[in-house]
Structures are given as structure tokens and as C-alpha cells.
Chains A and B, each alone.
Chain A
Amino acid sequence: MMAPFYKFGLFGSEVSLIVAFIIGIGFGFFLERAGFGSARKLAAQFYFRDMAVFKVMFTAIVTAMIGLFYFAWIGWLNLSLVYLTPTFLWADLVGGLILGVGFVVGGYCPGTSGVACVTGKIDGYIFVLGLFFGIFAFGEAFPWIEGFFNAAPMGQITLSQLLDIPYGVLVFIVVLIALGGFLLAEKVEKYFARKDAEKAL
């Protein structure tokens, strides 16, 4: 038996929805447990007061990366069948910026706004309303931005293909970056905690 199960025909699209539902619940649960249902905690990331977002996200990246790498290496998973979102350079850059600004201003990303909603936060509801309005506006404006949307297509490319370094080496580099980032994040948190304490005096 080999993953991805869906593409090997182990279950159909109906069951895949149930699987997605269970995984979605798990995702939301752990976001909430990490404290990401609170806009205060999320926004604190951007003021370097609380690096939990960075730590949780990079932990997830490293865990998934190492897991997928070794699963494929053992032969449990056919990596070439795992779907990769195609890269469109300019649209991705601008989209990332918009999401980042929205994250700082609104205090949520799309996923965490769902978590905030479920935990009954009013700003979460407003955020989700805005999210749907944004999707609607994007859909209506699509004919005008279609050219930009499809500009600089790079296909389903991975970092290891782009930089032309072996996959395993890239895994190690990302692990080093993450671990270095964690150490730095701790330092940054302590530095700002001290600064805030001095200011309060």
C-alpha cells in the first residue's frame, strides 16, 4: 500500500471529503491550542513580542518536510503524485504582501479567523465576512487582473529544483534555518520583554 491513497484509488472523492473534514478539525484544534484563536497573540508576532506563530509554523514545516522525505524514501509515499500548487511569481508576491498586511491589520490569517469564529470572537466573524467580500471582489475583478494573475508561470516547482541542490541537502538546510530561527526567536522575545519592562519602570 502506498500513499497518496486517493490517487491510488483506495477511496473515492466522497470518502476524501470525510478525510478532509477530519484533518480540518484536527488542524483547527491545534491552531486553537497554540493560542491562534486570539488576534492579540497573532498580532504580537509582528511586533516581535511573541514568536509563537513563527515557531509553530516552522515546526509544522520541518515536521512535514522530514516526514514526507523519509516516507518517500522508505517507499510509503510516491512524492511525484503529491499535488504542488503551481507558482506564479508576481501574483504570489503581491498576494503574499496583501495577506501579510491583512494579517497585521486584522489580526488573523484565513485559517485562524475560522478558529476565532468557532470560539465565538466577534472580530473573527467580521474578519470572515471581509474574507468572503474579498473573494467576491476578486472574482468580479478577475477579467481585469487575469494577465497579471497568470504572469511568470513557473509550474509546479520546488526549492530543490529551483536552486538545483539535492533534495536531502535542502532538507538539512531548512532544518538548520528552523533551529537557528528558534534560537533567535527566543532571544528576540527576551530582548523585547526586557525593553518593555524597562519602559514600564
Chain B
Amino acid sequence: MSKLFSNMTTQKKLGLLALILGFFAVFAGSPYETNKITINAKDLALMAQKDVDNVSVQQVADWIIKGNFDFRIIDTRSPKEYADYHIPMAQNIQLSALLNQNFYPTDKLILYSDNSEKATQAWLLLKAKKFKNVYILKDGLNAWKDKILFPKMPANPSEGQMAEFNKIKEVSKFFGGTPQTGKRGEQGQKKVKKMPKLKLPAAIPQGAPHKKRREGC
């Protein structure tokens, strides 16, 4: 057998190698099986504990207003909830569909749900799939409602607090919210919080931006 092998020409040896590798490819399974993931559990645990991948609603609102569109916002809630209201520019992608998206590994993704729960699960999935820039919107849409759409004026505000609130009021108006000044209506009577209609401020382009990359030949 070994003599037979040593008598072979290099071409024949390479041909045999190709044949063997090709044969085993039949049983190797699909190379596209990319849903298998490996995670460094310790790294992930540390990142989750330290909240390093959190962004605040104020931060995201600021980016949107400033026209910083180098990120994609992903709404992980149900399509119905998404249709009712979503943060401007957000795309609706649920957890099960998240892994089939063709994001680039370098894309900056901001995930949100009602609170942080579903977004955190999505974050874990994407992190495990080696996406580097994945962030969770801290406290999700609840925080967006409380702090951006319907910010409350603090009772007996100091001058500094007042200035702060006036700033937030502008942000809120930009997104079609109604700041809760507490001036109108009597104390204790709850003002109806009406969700803004899904009309984006004029300054924001419709739909998530898509970076085009050069590829192919």
C-alpha cells in the first residue's frame, strides 16, 4: 500500500487528496450552519454586569436629532406593538428573525423592547454571534416614554432643574411628545398621555439608512 502511494506522481497524490476531502464533505454537514454559536461566558457575564453595552434614551434622541445615522435601531417587540408606536427610524425585527439578518459584523445596532428584557436577550444572541457594536436601550420604550415623550417637570424645580427641563421639552417636542408641566389641570388629575402619531419629524429620513459597501469585481 505504502509502495503504491510512493509510486504515485504528485498530481495523482493531490487528486487522491481532493477525492478524500470531497468524500468526507458529504458527511460534514452544511458549512452555512452559522446558527451554532460559541460564547465566552465570562466575558459576556462581565459585560452584562457592568452595563457597558447600554445607551440611554437621551443619548439616542440626541443622535437622531443631530442626524447621526451611523447606527440601526431595532425594535424587538411584536409587529402590532411596532405598528402602534416605535422610535423613529426603528426596524421591527423579532428575536427569531434576528439571526437571519445580514448585518455586517461592524454595524452599530441599538436594541430595544418595552423594558430591557427582550432587548437583553437579543443582545446576548448577537454578542454570541460576534457582533461587536450591539447596544441595549436602557429601560427600553418605557424610558423613552417617561424621559423623552412625556417628561415630567419636577415639583418645585430649582433654576438648574428648570433649565434642564426646558431642554428636554424641546427634545420631546421634536419627537411629537407632550411634556408634563403640571400647569394645566388640577393636581392629581391625570393628564391623558397621547402617543404621538407615527409621523417622523421632517429632519429624519424615512427608514433606516443602509451603508453601501463596495464589493464584487
Contact = CB atoms under 8 A, between A and B. Distances in A.
A99 interface: no
A66 B31 CA distance: 11
A73 B28 contact: yes
A135 interface: no
B215 interface: yes
B15 interface: yes
Contacts of A8: 105-106, 130
A69 B30 CA distance: 9
Contact of B21 (A2, A66, A176): A66
Interface string B16-42: 001101110111111110100010000
Given A167-B31, A168-B30, A85 B216 contact: yes
Of the candidates B28, B102, B106, B132, the one having the most CB atoms from chain A within 10 angstroms of its own CB is B28
Contacts of B215: 83
A178 B26 CA distance: 16
A70 interface: yes
Residue from the set B22, B29, B38 with the largest chain A CB neighbour count within 10 Å? B22
A176 B20 CA distance: 11
A194 interface: no
B211 to A, nearest CB: 12
A130 B216 CA distance: 23
B214 interface: yes
Nearest to A63: B18
B5 interface: no
B30 A166 contact: yes
B102 A66 contact: no
Chain B: interface size category: 20 to 34
Contacts, number: 81
A73 B31 contact: yes
B25 A182 contact: no
A79 B32 contact: yes
A45 interface: no
A83 B216 contact: yes
Contact of A69 (B15, B28, B38, B217): B28
Contacts of A85: 216-217
Contact of A168 (B19, B28, B106): B28
A63 B11 CA distance: 13
B25 A69 contact: yes
Nearest to A166: B30
A141 interface: no
Interface string B176-217: 000000000000000000000000000000000000001111
Interface of B: 15, 18-19, 21-23, 25-32, 34, 38, 102, 104-106, 130, 132, 214-217
Given A9-B106, A171-B25, 8 more contacts: A62-B18, A70-B21, A72-B32, A83-B215, A85-B216, A168-B26, A171-B22, A176-B19
9 contacts: A2-B130, A66-B21, A73-B28, A73-B29, A73-B31, A75-B38, A78-B34, A168-B29, A171-B26
